[in-house]
Amino acid sequence: MTVLYLKRAIQDILQNRFLNFVTIITISLSILIVSSAILFFINAGQIIALWQKGIRIMAYLKPEMAATALPGLTQDIQALDGVDSVRFISRDEALAELKAQMKRQSFLFENLAENPLPDGFEIRMDPSAQTWKNIEAVAARVEAFEPIAEVEYGQRWLGRFSRIFDLFRLAGYAMGGLFFIATVFIVANTIRLIIYSRREELEITRLVGATDRFIKIPFYIEGLIQGALGAICGLAILFFLFVLLSSNVEEGFFSDLFQIRFLSPGVMLPIVLGSALVGWLGCHLSLKQFLKV
């Protein structure tokens, strides 16, 4: 029976080529837009995560702090949630590192009468707890310790960017939801047109003793096929555009730091299944209305 239903669904698609083609193209465009957004969010998210990985918290000590308090303070910081490692950097060590980093501008240090840098701690976060929220929380708690003069975790802009990015992500979800609903209605309308164009045939099928199930199942299969084909076409177009654009991006722009990647099979499969569900839902809406009559 399943073979019969599948055969009838394929026959129906071939008999209504134009309407089915329009539906598949419409689904493809929706999938193209939604999957482009997903591609952007995945890659941008990975770039942000990479940047966040490089973040370390620098805590500078007050000049008058006694050296005896150092081991206790190190332990206190190490005990904070999410802290992976704490390294004390003396002011002399810091100056030596700075000089090493600024070899070409070494003349700047020639006239220094005294080392202007403070003692400090370099705090690295546990990678699993390295969310922006945790970094901020640890920084605030370190700053609260008496001997600490100032805390800096560089790239504060990254926090702001991260929040804006989260907002974009939310907007992306809303957009995805809207496209989902719009596509369901578009599929519902095209299936309705197909049903309308075949109403006499369906009426005859009913009169010869066909059950609702017998009439409905091929349409559901048709909806699933439309949805899945639409998704495959949409993803194929996106892949083509991705290859075209990524080959034009200046080499080395990201290559040292990050490799832009296309959607993984683990992301594409849910897109195809979701799109098939859209086809099924659209079909369900139309049939529900048709079979009421």
CA atoms of 130 and 52, how far apart (whole Å): 7
The residue from 78, 85, 106, 211 that contacts other proteins (CB under 8 A) is 211
Q: Give the interface segment with other proteins, choosing from 66-74, 110-118, 180-188, 211-219 (CB under 8 A).
A: 211-219
- Our CB check for other proteins shows the closer of 113 and 207 to be 207
Name the residue type at position 292: K
Sign of CA dihedral 23, 29, 32, 38: negative
Judge whether 37 and 176 are in contact, CB under 8 Å: yes
Q: Residues binding other proteins: what is the number (CB under 8 A)?
A: 16
Q: Does position 193 bind other proteins by CB under 8 A?
A: no
Q: Does position 246 bind other proteins by CB under 8 A?
A: no
Read off the tokens for 73: 């303070």
Q: Does position 201 bind other proteins by CB under 8 A?
A: yes
Cα 180 off chain centre by: 17
How buried is 286 (Cβ within 10 angstroms: 0-12 exposed, 13-18 middle, 19+ buried)? buried
Tell me how far CA of residue 222 lies from CA of 186, 190, 208, 270, 293, in angstroms: 14, 11, 23, 19, 21
Q: Give the interface segment with other proteins, choosing from 40-48, 205-213, 256-264, 271-279 (CB under 8 A).
A: 205-213
Q: Give the interface segment with other proteins, choosing from 62-70, 93-101, 129-137, 200-208 (CB under 8 A).
A: 200-208
The residue from 21, 88, 165, 214 that contacts other proteins (CB under 8 A) is 214
Q: Does position 249 bind other proteins by CB under 8 A?
A: no
The residue from 50, 108, 210, 243 that contacts other proteins (CB under 8 A) is 210
CA atoms of 150 and 255, how far apart (whole Å): 35
Q: Does position 205 bind other proteins by CB under 8 A?
A: yes
Q: Least distance to other proteins from the beta carbon of 214, Å?
A: 5
Instruction: Give residues 43-82 in contact with other proteins (rule: CB under 8 A).
Output: none
Neighbours of 221 (CB within 10 A): 22
Q: Give the interface segment with other proteins, choosing from 40-48, 140-148, 210-218, 262-270 (CB under 8 A).
A: 210-218
Cα 202 off chain centre by: 45
Q: Does position 206 bind other proteins by CB under 8 A?
A: yes
The residue from 1, 67, 100, 144 that contacts other proteins (CB under 8 A) is 1
Q: Give the interface segment with other proteins, choosing from 64-72, 91-99, 174-182, 196-204 (CB under 8 A).
A: 196-204
Q: Does position 289 bind other proteins by CB under 8 A?
A: no
Instruction: Give residues 11-30 in contact with other proteins (rule: CB under 8 A).
Output: 15
Q: Does position 141 bind other proteins by CB under 8 A?
A: no
The residue from 100, 113, 207, 293 that contacts other proteins (CB under 8 A) is 207
Q: Does position 100 bind other proteins by CB under 8 A?
A: no
Strand, helix or coil at 63? coil
Name the residue type at position 283: C
Q: What would the 3-class secondary structure string for 225-290 be?
A: HHHHHHHHHHHHHHHHHHHHHHHHCCCCCCCCCCCCCCCCHHHHHHHHHHHHHHHHHHHHHHHHHH
For other proteins, the binding residues (CB under 8 A) are 1, 3-4, 15, 200-201, 204-212, 214
